[in-house]
Each structure stands twice: as structure tokens, then as C-alpha cells.
Amino acid sequence: MAHAEAAAKFNENEAKVNWHDKALWFVRQKRDKQAHKIQGWEQLRDYASALKANVLSNLDNYLVQFEENAKKNGVTVHWAANAEEHNKIVHSILQKHNAKKIVKSKSMLTEECHLNPFLEANDIEVIDTDLGERIVQLAQEPPSHIVLPAIHKTKEEVDELFQEHLGTKPSGGNPEYLTREARKHLRNKFLQADAAITGVNFAVADTGGFVVCTNEGNADMGAHLAKVHIACMGMEKLIPQEKHLGIFLRLLARSATGQPITTYSSYFNKPEEGKEMHIVIVDNGRTEQLSREDFRRSLHCIRCGACMNTCPIYRRSGGHSYDATIPGPIGSILSPGKDLTKHSSLPFASTLCGSCSDVCPVKINIHEQLYKWRQIIVKDVPQPFVKKNIMKAVGSILAKPKTYDFVGKSTRFMLKNTPKSLINSKINTWGHARDLPEVKGDNFEEWYKKKTEK
Amino acid sequence: MKVGLFIPCYINQLYPQVGIASLELLEKLGVDVEYPLGQTCCGQPLGNSGYEDDSKGTCQLFVENFKNYDYIVGPSGSCVYHVKKHFDILEQTEDVKRVRENTYELCQFIYQVLGKTDLGASFPHKVGIHKSCHGLRGLRLGSCSERMDPHFSTEENLLKEVKGLELKTLNRADECCGFGGTFSVFEEAISVKMGKDRIQDHIDSDVEVITGADHSCLMHLEGLINRNKQPLKVMHIAEILNSSI
Amino acid sequence: MSRESILNAVKANKPEALPLPDIDLSVFDEDINLIERFKENIEFVGGRLLELDGLDTLDIEIKALYPEATKIVSCMKESALGTVPVSKDTDPHTLEDIDLTIIKGNYAVAENGAVWVSEDDIIVRALPFITNDLILVVPKNAVNLHMHQVFDAISERERTFGVFISGPSKTADIEQCLVVGAHGAISLTVVLY
């Protein structure tokens, strides 16, 4: 389904749209407050952007450096060209340990690779341990936001889900009670887990370590209790030196949720004695995106979700309307690189207002990339005959003043003389909910001619 | 200094009063201004829809029309932004470069180039500014709420000097109205919802007249206001700055 | 193995080399009372600050704050409240019902209320997460303005495991309602002395 259609559906319940919009705008406001509170926010963004640009221009060397250092620390490093390889690697590590029960903390990469269904098909239980992710997992839905996976669910809906799956009592959607019950339920899972999977927020080339950020403590509960820790990372997660984390950690949580830092920022360098630590480095289309000059900056992304919270379209259409692993503005520039036809409506799901680019902590020019994708899509993806030909006709009309003058006058004549019932009818999308401008007298050029002839 | 007045296509055809106010305002400020005949459009509707390549003739015509002026001034932030930002599709001749460099949005021209704020206008009404996105985040007509820069606003600076005008503060300072060119048609549901929400913010903030430096957004908002019979008026900022009620 | 093919693809597709930026940390300077700012932030993130003149009264203060705690792990010699001994060989699963843990924090960060805790001071990695309540004890002169300063301070450590902890574990995943106590510690007290 194209974005517009899904968005229209979401808008059938205006009260829910209003709630969704306000909830995310509230996060945007918290972000503004936190960004204002420290000195040098815009410089932090500049540095972060320059660091990421440096990383991409030197990515092969940083990857090798990271691998060397990680190995020295006793960590096993794996390389996966695509999702399939990634899933197989993870599975083979689990098989080696005969691991049947897995706890997983938030990782958009494993979503991207569809790891859960793959492991489940191999008789392995995977429990998502981030509360929001657990909620959508129980509901058998994908996350609708990369930081707030269950933002589309009301507390009453969560209440019902928990009654059904966790045997909780009806609470009318009491968040305090529901969170406590989830804590109990997941604590058991942590204690029984054979292996833990986490994502990676930052991987550090000069130390071979990596950082995982959570508020709930679920990544640490999993990783420190299980015998095996597998960390899955997109290859763009690298940063050059550990001290550069100062820049990125100051930006990440402030941009994501309006917190000064996440509750836990955990630095994994060496496995605990008697345990194993694995890192899976994943390409899955990233080198291809790296080759696209106009779009490679999308690989700066640190997955904070700020562009979603600020996007007036995302807030009013919901994450599922994008039908992509990463929804919202950043997803709309990443997804076309993976499947142009499937995601061809996404770059048009924007007014190009530019709020996403200004809010982005690593200064990705998101709205400019949306514009560029549009130019590619109309060429490479078959367009409706009418739209394509109208645009071509408009192009030639506007290039010739005389034809333009004729068309302009006809339009004005029609606006003046066509009955409102027709103007506001179904065939005119503008007129469903909006009046057309009232046209009287001369156009500006006619007026100007008369004025200067006097 | 010779100024070429750039009146975007939709203003020429649908809102001639905005063109007239812009011209009169510049004349009042002693600017040597003329309107080159045979103007059409800046090509933005095509570019934003993905048909940039089909707009080259239009863009070239724009350059031909305006290449002999010191400044090109237009009352529409998004069109001006398009000329400055997206005329990179043309071969960058001296003419093209000069035209891109010297094209200004009306308020920006008055404030930055002429250095004026008090234009002798009077308009005793409660006014809310719609800060259109391309003017704001494209041309940087003011500070943007996402960025941590000191506050400033070209439109506010001009409106503050208007006698009797009471400037209202909105709950969301610079959220998009949902017009977005063809977005308003292809993503109709969201476009309408965004517009409705923007208007409600002005109503909640006790605004009588919504103004702004981009009439395309105002056209969208006005269409909704008229359809829903809401107690608000919409006027281009040039009309307010040119008024002496 | 895809290692070589990935690295070759990167080499072929990467842009021209761009330099590492020179980072001028002075743009982040702020002339503020560090303790005040730290206090403000630790409270903002749901934690509690206890200021002491020295550690002589540490145990009395902790007892007053957590009178119900019986299963206590103390990882510092300055506190004698520990009732459960923990060593490198302790199976973390056995720590499941610990009420309270007392740990030394090396550095605190004024800008975000975080405390740096390194593996040497926690004995078992799971401890600061699995415990019901957590106390971090940090010297006053170890409060830094911002993260950049702390990275200088921790750059010489032996890198095994370490964590910045800012407040108790929390979530807002149900309708954006903040609930303190998700999977990690339900409360956090920072003692500055």
C-alpha cells in the first residue's frame, strides 16, 4: 500500500492521530529543552557530522582496525554480506552452544534482517526484552518507531495484550502495574537465557570495544547473565576513537528522548571470564548506499529517531504507514536504496519542510535527499500515465510565455465561472476539504500592463 | 540599483493583490523596480514532483527574464528558495550564477539589503505569522525552533514596526502547514490534517489575521478556513506592510 | 566468509578521504557550579543525591534510607553493611534477590547526572543491574563538567567492561508514561563526599 493510502486510513480516527501527534511532539519539546541546556549544541552536530564523514571515507581501514583490536580483546568477529548470512552466523553460534532460549535487546539491524522469524523457524525462542519491543512482539506487529516501538499502542491495548499473554489482571491500563508485571515476566527470561543478543550503538575502531545504550537495563541483564553475548552491528556504526563518544553520547539521548543521557551506556571490551563475546559486522546494502554520492550521508544515522518525532507527517500518519523497517524521514531516504519500487511512495510522503535535517544530530540533509530520490523515482519506477504527461505538459507550458498566458487565462476563466459544486467534487482532490481561491478581475500581469501604459 | 519584480505564477493568476502590494511597497521605499513581462514560473512544482529535468526550459526562461537586474525580488519564499537552491540543474553560466545569487524574498530584501524595518504601515489587528518552511529553513529568514541559535525573525522585525499590530505567539512556532505543492493533492489526508492543526493553533492563540511570506501555504490555509467558515482572515505580509488603515 | 568482498566493496565505493575534524573543546566550556548541576540532573533522571562530609557516617545514612534491606552486597571497604559475600566466581544468577548494592563510582558527570563505574569496582558485571536498589559512592572532586572531560579521565583504564549509570532503570514504553524500575535497579542514590 502506498504511504498516502495507509496515512489516510490512520486518519480515520482523528482522536488517535491527535494523541499520536501530541505524544511525539512532547518528545520533540523535551529534546529542545535538553539541547538548549548545554553549551555548543550546533558545534556538537558539526563535529559529529564531520566525524561520520571521516569514518565513511575511511571505512575499510577503520573496520580492519576495529577487528584487530576486538580480536586482541578476545572477541570473535564475523562478517555478513547480507541478512541471510547474518542470520546464519547468529544461528551457527547458537547451535555451537546448543542455545535454545535467547533474550534480545533492541536492535534495528536484527529487525532489518528478520532474525526472529529465522531463529523461531529453527526451534529457538527469541524474547525481545525492551518493553516496547516485547509489546509489539506479543502483538505480532513490527515496531512503529525505532526508539518508541509501541508508540502506536494505547495503554488499554497493552493491558489486554498482557492479560492474554502474561496472565495479568485487568488494570484499565495502569502503566506502573503493567511495567512491574513485565519486569517479573522478563526477569525469568533473563535468568533462563542461554544466550543474549544486543545491538551496537557505537563501535570504536581504536579500542575494538562497543557501546550499547538502554534505559531499561535490558541489554546488560541479558549480556551479563548469559554465557554467550552476540552483538550485531551495521558497519556504519564505527567511530574512530573512544574519546569521540563524548560527542555522540551527548547528542544521542538528548535527540532521542530528551534525556541528558540514557540510563545505561555500557562499554563492552572483553568477555567476562568463562564467557564468549561475538560481533557480527553486517553490510546488507550499506556499501551500495555508500556508492551513491547523493545518498551516502544517510549512513551517518545514529538511530535516535528525532526526525520521526519532529516530522509533521510521521506524527500524523504513524510508523506503520511507511511499511519499512525504519519508518519516518530517515527511513524514506534509506529504504528506496534497498527496494526502489516497493518504497517509491516514501520520498513523496514529505512536504520537504526541512525540520528533519535541522533536528538531526549528525546533520543528514534528509529533505534534500528526499528531493533527489523523487527525481530518480519518476525515471526508474513506472509512473501513472496521466501524472507523467501532465508534468511534461506543464513543463512545456511554463517554458513558453504565450502558451502560459493562454492557459493562465483559461484557468482563471474556469475558476470564475465553474459552479462550486463541480469545483468541490470528487474529481478535484484539492476541493474535498478546501475551497479554491476566489478569482476576480485581472491577473497581475494584465494589471501591470494597464498601469504602465497609462 | 535596478530591481526585477518576480511574481510567481500562482500569485500572478490567483492573487494579483499580493503582486500589487509588493510592487507598491517597493516603490514606496524608493526602489527602482519593474516587472519583466512574460514571466511564468520558477519550475518548483515540477522539481518537487520529481520532474526537474522537464523544468529546464522554465528555469532558463526565468534566467533570461531576470539576468539584467541587480536584484530579483519576489513575495514567495519557496519560489525564491527554488531559484537559489535548485537552479543547479542548469549550466552554471555567469548569468545563471548571478541570478541565483541576487534573488531575494521580499521581506529579506527589505530587511537585509535595504536595511529597513519601519515602513510606515499601520494595521490594528491581532496577527499570527505562518513561518513557511522554505523561507525559514531554506532561506533562513529566521531562527528555526530545531536549532539552538539566538532568536531572530525577519518577518517579526518588520511586523513589530507596524502601528497597532499585535503579534501573537503560537504554541508551535514553525510547524509546516502541510501544503507542500503536489503533496497537498497526493497526500490529501495528511495535508488537510496538518493545515487544520496549524489553523487551530492560530485560533487558540487569539489570532485574527494569519500572515506570512509565502502565499502558497496561505492559499492552503485559506481554503480550509473558508470551507470550515472559521473566523480568521489570511493576508500576505506584503499586504499588511503596504497598508495604512 | 564475506570479509574480503565487503572490504573490497567499501574500498571501491567510499568517497575521497576526509580528515578527522580538529575538535575545540573550549566551545563546550561552562562556568557553573558542578555539584549543583550534577544534583539538578541526577534528580531529573529520577535518582537521589546524598551529600556527606566524609564516609564516617556512610553506613548510618544508608541504613536510614534503606531500612528494609537485608540482602546487601558491599563492594567497598568503607561500608560494612554487606551481608552477601561476592567474588569473581559468584554465579550472577544467584544475585537475583539482592536488595541493595553499594559500589564505588570513579567519576560523575555534571551535564547528565551519570556516574562511571568500572568492572574492577563491581566484582560481577551483572551486579549493578540485577540488584533491587543501588548506591554509588563518588568523591566530590571527581565531578566533571561534561563527557569530554570524563573520556580523558578514563582513557588509561584497563578496558574490560564499564558503564555510565544515570539514575534508576526506567521506561516510558506504555503511552509515554514514565515508570521507574524496568529491568535494572529500581532506585539509585549517589553519595557525594
**DSSP of B186-206:** HTHHHHHHHHHHHHHHHHHTT
Position B152 scores a pLDDT of 97
Give the mean pLDDT of C177-185. 95
Q: pLDDT tens-digit profile of B116-171?
A: 999 999 999 999 999 999 999 999 999 999 999 999 999 999 999 999 999 999 99
| Contact list, C167 vs chain A (CB under 8 Å) | 263
Contact criterion met (CB < 8 Å) for B193 and A17: yes
Chain A contact for C87 (CB, 8 A cutoff): no
Contact criterion met (CB < 8 Å) for A79 and C3: yes
Position A233 scores a pLDDT of 98
Give the C-alpha separation, B137 to B144, whole Å. 7
pLDDT band at A426 (very low <50, low <70, confident <90, very high): low
pLDDT of C25 over the 70 cut? yes
Give the mean pLDDT of A174-201. 98
pLDDT of A399 over the 70 cut? yes
Position C138 scores a pLDDT of 98
Position A434 scores a pLDDT of 92
Strands C143-144 and C107-109: parallel
Q: Give the one of C14, C147, C176 whose C-beta lies nearest to A290's C-beta.
A: C14
Q: What is the largest CA-CA distance in chain B?
A: 50
Chain A contact for C17 (CB, 8 A cutoff): yes
Give the mean pLDDT of A124-145. 98
Q: How far is A238 from chain C (nearest CA, A)?
A: 14
pLDDT of A419 over the 80 cut? no
| Cα separation values, A93 from A125, A278, B20, C79, C148, Å | 15, 9, 74, 42, 37
Q: Give the one of A353, A439, A442 whose C-beta lies nearest to B133's C-beta.
A: A353
| Contact list, A290 vs chain C (CB under 8 Å) | 10, 13-15
Which has more confidence, A432 or A286? Answer: A286
Contact criterion met (CB < 8 Å) for B50 and A445: no
Q: How far is A357 from chain C (nearest CA, A)?
A: 21
Please check whether residue C46 is in contact with residue C74, taking contact to mean a CB–CB distance below 8 angstroms. Answer: no
Q: How far is A115 from chain C (nearest CA, A)?
A: 19
Position C175 scores a pLDDT of 92
Helix (H) or strand (E) holding C49: strand C48-51
| Cα separation values, B67 from A350, B11, B27, B102, B107, Å | 33, 21, 21, 10, 21
Give the mean pLDDT of C113-119. 96
Axis-axis angle for helices A41-57, A59-72 (nearest 10)? 90
pLDDT band at A378 (very low <50, low <70, confident <90, very high): very high
Q: Which chains touch A (3 or more CB pairs under 8 A)?
A: B, C
Position A454 scores a pLDDT of 73
Give the mean pLDDT of A151-167. 97
pLDDT band at B49 (very low <50, low <70, confident <90, very high): very high
Give the mean pLDDT of A223-243. 98
Contact criterion met (CB < 8 Å) for A263 and C93: no
Position B245 scores a pLDDT of 61
Q: pLDDT tens-digit profile of A6-18?
A: 999 999 999 999 9
Q: Do chains C and B touch (3 or more CB pairs under 8 A)?
A: no
Strands C107-109 and C114-118: antiparallel
Q: Give the one of B13, B38, B220 whose C-beta lies nearest to A401's C-beta.
A: B38
Which of A294, A366, A444 would you mutate first to test chain B, the one with the most B CBs within 10 A? A444
pLDDT of A440 over the 90 cut? no
Model confidence, pTM? 0.97
Q: pLDDT tens-digit profile of C91-104?
A: 999 999 999 999 99
Size of interface A-C (CB pairs under 8 A): 251
Chain A contact for C31 (CB, 8 A cutoff): no
| Contact list, A225 vs chain C (CB under 8 Å) | 92-93, 126, 130
Residues near B74 by beta carbon (within 8 Å), at least 6 away in sequence: B5, B6, B7, B8, B22, B80, B103, B104, B105, B106
pLDDT band at A394 (very low <50, low <70, confident <90, very high): confident
Position A199 scores a pLDDT of 98
pLDDT band at A441 (very low <50, low <70, confident <90, very high): confident
Give the C-alpha separation, A381 to A28, whole Å. 35
pLDDT of A388 over the 90 cut? no
Q: Give the one of B43, B57, B133 whose C-beta lies nearest to A354's C-beta.
A: B133
Please check whether residue A440 is in contact with residue B14, taking contact to mean a CB–CB distance below 8 angstroms. Answer: no
| Contact list, C109 vs chain A (CB under 8 Å) | 261
Please check whether residue A330 is in contact with residue A285, taking contact to mean a CB–CB distance below 8 angstroms. Answer: no
Position A174 scores a pLDDT of 97
pLDDT band at A438 (very low <50, low <70, confident <90, very high): confident
pLDDT of C151 over the 90 cut? yes
pLDDT of A1 over the 80 cut? no
Contact criterion met (CB < 8 Å) for A247 and C23: yes
Contact criterion met (CB < 8 Å) for B57 and A395: yes
End-to-end Cα spacing for chain B: 30
> H helices of B135-187, where?
154-159, 183-186
pLDDT band at A197 (very low <50, low <70, confident <90, very high): very high
What nine digits make up the cell of B159?
A: 511586523
Position A137 scores a pLDDT of 98
pLDDT of A410 over the 90 cut? no
Contact criterion met (CB < 8 Å) for A220 and C184: yes
Q: Residue B231 carries which DSSP code?
A: S
Average pLDDT, chain B: 97
> H helices of C45-186, where?
58-65, 127-130, 147-154
Give the C-alpha separation, C152 to C147, whole Å. 9
Which of A183, A215, A242, A245 would you mutate first to test chain C, the one with the most C CBs within 10 A? A215
Contact criterion met (CB < 8 Å) for C93 and A225: yes
Chain A contact for C130 (CB, 8 A cutoff): yes
pLDDT of A281 over the 70 cut? yes
Contact criterion met (CB < 8 Å) for A79 and C1: yes
| Contact list, B86 vs chain A (CB under 8 Å) | 371
Contact criterion met (CB < 8 Å) for B187 and A437: no
Give the mean pLDDT of A23-31. 97
Position A422 scores a pLDDT of 62
* Length of chain C counted residue by residue: 193
Please check whether residue C167 is in contact with residue C42, taking contact to mean a CB–CB distance below 8 angstroms. Answer: yes
Q: To the nearest whole percent, how much of chain B has pLDDT over 90?
A: 99
* Nearest CA among C122, C63, C130 for reference residue C98: C130
pLDDT of A386 over the 80 cut? no
Residues near B209 by beta carbon (within 8 Å), at least 6 away in sequence: B125, B126, B127, B128, B232, B233, B234, B235, B240
Q: How far is A400 from chain C (nearest CA, A)?
A: 41
Q: How far is A417 from chain C (nearest CA, A)?
A: 51
Position A448 scores a pLDDT of 96
Contact criterion met (CB < 8 Å) for B227 and A396: no
Contact criterion met (CB < 8 Å) for B185 and A430: yes
pLDDT band at C147 (very low <50, low <70, confident <90, very high): very high
pLDDT of B183 over the 70 cut? yes
Q: Which chains touch B (3 or more CB pairs under 8 A)?
A: A
Contact criterion met (CB < 8 Å) for B137 and A442: no
Query: Helix (H) and strand (E) counts for chain A?
Result: 22, 10
Position C14 scores a pLDDT of 97
Please check whether residue A134 is in contact with residue A186, taking contact to mean a CB–CB distance below 8 angstroms. Answer: yes
CB atoms within 10 A of CB C18: 16
pLDDT of A398 over the 90 cut? no
Q: pLDDT tens-digit profile of A77-134?
A: 999 999 999 999 999 999 999 999 999 999 999 999 999 999 999 999 999 999 999 9
| Contact list, C29 vs chain A (CB under 8 Å) | 39
pLDDT band at A425 (very low <50, low <70, confident <90, very high): low
Chain A contact for C165 (CB, 8 A cutoff): yes
Q: Give the one of A35, A351, A353 whose C-beta lies nearest to B148's C-beta.
A: A35
| Contact list, A158 vs chain C (CB under 8 Å) | 174-175
What is the radius of gyration, based on Cα positions, of chain C?
Answer: 20
pLDDT of A421 over the 70 cut? no
